[in-house]
Structure formats: C-alpha cells, structure tokens
Structure 1
Amino acid sequence: MSLNAHVYRLTLLHRRLDEAVRREARRRGTDPYRVLRLKKLKLAVRDRLSVLMRRPALG
C-alpha cells in the first residue's frame, strides 16, 4: 500500500471515529467509557497520521 493510500485510509478512520464520538455524546444514556475508548482510538490514529506526515518524501 502506498503512503498516500495509507494516509487516506487513516484520515477516513479518524473522521469516522470523530462522528462516532459525537453520535455517542448526543445519545441518551451516554456510556462515558465508550466515549473515552473512541477518543483514545481517535488520538492514536491522529498520532500515526502525524508520524506518517513527518516522513520525508521519497523519490
């Protein structure tokens, strides 16, 4: 998988996690542990994206 494809997939995942956090926060009877888990996953994806974006371009 190329770097651009990997970054794109991680960006989509980050966006889906963001939507899931918002959906869970609006839901009646919100599970704070689910929100926390989703936020941690979102942060891990963001950290991975930042590492990939700091790589020097090859070629």
Structure 2
Amino acid sequence: MESTHVAALQAKHHGLEQRLRDEMNRPAPDNVAIQAIKKQKLQIKQEIAAN
C-alpha cells in the first residue's frame, strides 16, 4: 500500500513539473502560479521522502 501511495505522489509530482514547465514557457509567465506550483512540488517531495 505504501508503494501505491508513493507512486501516486510521484505521478502528481511529475504532473506539477509539467505544469511548471508549461507556465515558464508562456510568453508572460505568472510568477505567483510558478511559486505556488513549486511549493506544491516541495510538499510532495517531502512527503515522498518521509515514506
């Protein structure tokens, strides 16, 4: 069960990475959105490391 949870977190982290890349490649990136995505990624990374 733990590995399923970790796999789900990794998938979510990957999705956030894609959103971050998409946002940064826009002609006028939204810095607030970028910071929010980075914060979510960090929280997920910490949760993965805790498991």
Question: What's the TM-score once normalised by structure 2's chain length?
Answer: 0.96
Count of aligned positions: 51
Distance 2:37 2:9 in 1: 15
Equivalent residue letter for 1:20: R
1:20-59 CA-partner distances (Å, limit 9, x unpaired): 101100011110000000000000000000000xxxxxxx
- Runs (4+) of structure 1 moved beyond 4 Å? none
What is the RMSD computed on CA atoms of the aligned residues? 0.5
Residue matched to 2:6: 7
> What SS is found at the alignment partner of 2:5?
helix
**Unaligned runs of at least 5 residues, structure 2:** none
The answer to which structure, 1 or 2, has the higher relative contact order (CA under 8 A, 6+ apart) is: 2
**Structure 1 portions without partners, runs of 5+:** 53-59
